[in-house]
């Protein structure tokens, strides 16, 4: 990883984590999303236009999109139910 990329992660990582953690309560999920944000940002770094937004704003938008995808995936997950709860002859 290049030093500029490390600097961006170091400088904005906590901000992105705070943003993601507002709606993603599981710390492990939030950490994974933050990692996804920076992977997406680094892959799309040629698309960043400083005349349109700051790096912080750009990263926040990527984080927003990742959080929305996360919640969309969560809403389609099957609900886990204990087998005991499905029994007809519950006491």
pLDDT at 86 over 60: no
Give 83 or 50, the one with higher predicted confidence. Answer: 50
What average pLDDT does the segment 21-35 reach? 95
Q: Is the full-model pTM beyond 0.85?
A: no
pLDDT at residue 89 in the model: 60
pLDDT at residue 57 in the model: 96
Q: What is the per-residue burial (b if ≥16 Cβ within 10 Å, else e) of 17-49? A: bebbbeebeeeeebeebbebbbeebeeeeeeee
């Amino acid at each position: 990883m290049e030093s500029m990329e490390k600097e961006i992660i170091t400088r904005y990582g906590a901000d992105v984590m705070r943003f993601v953690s507002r709606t993603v309560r599981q710390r492990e999920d939030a950490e994974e999303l933050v990692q996804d944000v920076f992977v997406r940002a680094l892959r799309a770094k040629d698309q960043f236009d400083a005349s349109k937004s700051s790096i912080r704003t750009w990263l926040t938008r990527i984080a927003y999109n990742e959080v929305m995808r996360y919640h969309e995936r969560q809403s389609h997950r099957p609900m886990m139910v204990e087998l005991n709860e499905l029994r007809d002859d519950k006491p």
